[in-house]
Amino acid sequence: DAGVTQSPTHLIKTRGQQVTLRCSPKSGHDTVSWYQQALGQGPQFIFQYYEEEERQRGNFPDRFSGHQFPNYSSELNVNALLLGDSALYLCASSSQGVGGYTFGSGTRLTVV
Amino acid sequence: DAKTTQPPSMDCAEGRAANLPCNHSTISGNEYVYWYRQIHSQGPQYIIHGLKNNETNEMASLIITEDRKSSTLILPHATLRDTAVYYCIVRVGKKTSYDKVIFGPGTSLSVIP
């Protein structure tokens, strides 16, 4: 049973560019949450998608946006990249309000 | 903000039980206690969760106090592979709530040979 799949695994972008990260949830899960994890810190909640709509949002600027597709997969978009956006971006899937989250291995984004 | 407090770090001898405490004094009646761990450079891994009864699975045991204001995750026979950051989280479990899992800084557990 495939877990959560994230792509790409590593990415290097230049300041000011835009990036799209992708996530395929675990089979049977309908909810996708995105997290940003800076080095040495716990994951910070960005937003959560359910039924193709953003349902919850953390304290992140509008440069961070997302999308969920009918097959429950999701994208995270970050515009106008800053050096401070360099982090591990984690995707987690779940069934709404039930059970634990399943996390992917993350995408390591480096902004230079 | 995270609703839990945990010690920043702990050590445990290999083969001994690791007992990781968590305080969640503001927990609501419909909130569950969840534990995750994160091994270096990997995504967090779900360990166990509970509401008010003690729980056990193949990975760990979860002991929740009667007043539900604190809990302890127990790894019965810690191995070097259990070295990780452990996160304690409270989360509403109702299917109709659009909940979000908020991580605190967690406890960095080092298992020592």
Q: Mind listing the pLDDT tens digit for each residue in A83-110?
A: 999 999 999 998 865 678 899 999 999 9
- Decide if B44 and A45 are in contact by the 8 Å CB cutoff: no
Residue A43 has pLDDT above 90, yes or no: yes
List CB contacts of B3: < 8 A, sequence separation 6 or more. Answer: B24, B26, B27, B31, B89, B90, B102
Residue A50 scores a pLDDT above 80: yes
Q: Provide the token pair at A65.
A: 């946006």
pLDDT at B90: 87
CB atoms within 10 A of CB B80: 10
Q: Which pLDDT belongs to residue A11?
A: 96
Token output for B45? 């891994």
Residues of A at the B interface, defined by Cβ within 8 angstroms: 4, 33, 35, 41-45, 48, 50, 55-56, 58, 88, 90, 92, 95-106
DSSP-derived secondary structure for chain A: ----EEE-SEEEE-TT--EEEEEEPPTT--EEEEEEE-TTS--EEEEEEETTEEEEE-S--TTEEEEE-TTS-EEEEE-S--GGG-EEEEEEEEETTEEEEEE---EEEEE-
Report yes or no: B85 and B106 within 8 Å, Cβ to Cβ: yes
Q: Both tokens of residue B90? A: 């409270």
What is the per-residue pLDDT for A106?
Answer: 96
- Beta-carbon separation of B44 and A103 below 8 A: yes
Nearest chain A CA: its distance from B103 CA (Å) = 6
Of B28, B74, B83, which is closest to residue B51 (Cα–Cα)? B28
The per-residue pLDDT for A98 is: 63
User: How many residue pairs from chains A and B have C-beta atoms closer than 8 A?
Assistant: 64
Give the pLDDT of residue A77: 98
Contact list in B for residue A60 (CB cut-off 8 A) is none
Query: Which pLDDT does position B29 carry in this prediction?
Result: 84
CA pair distance B72, B94, nearest whole angstrom: 23
Chain A residues closer than 8 Å to B43 by CB: 4, 90, 92, 103-106
Q: How far apart are CA A11 and CA A76, in angstroms?
A: 14
DSSP secondary structure, chain B, as one string: --S-B--SEEEEETTSPEEEEEE-TT--TTEEEEEEEE-TTS--EEEEEESSS-EE-SS-EEEE-TTSSEEEEEETT--GGG-EEEEEEEEE--TTS---------EEEEEE-
Q: At CB < 8 Å, which residues of chain B contact A?
A: 2, 34, 36, 41-46, 49, 85, 87, 92-106
Whether residue A25 has a cis bond before it, omega within 30° of 0: no
- Which residues from chain A sit within 8 angstroms of residue B59, using beta carbons? none
What is the share, in percent, of chain A residues with pLDDT greater than 90? 85
Q: What is the pLDDT of residue B93?
A: 56
Which ranges of chain B have pLDDT less than 50?
96
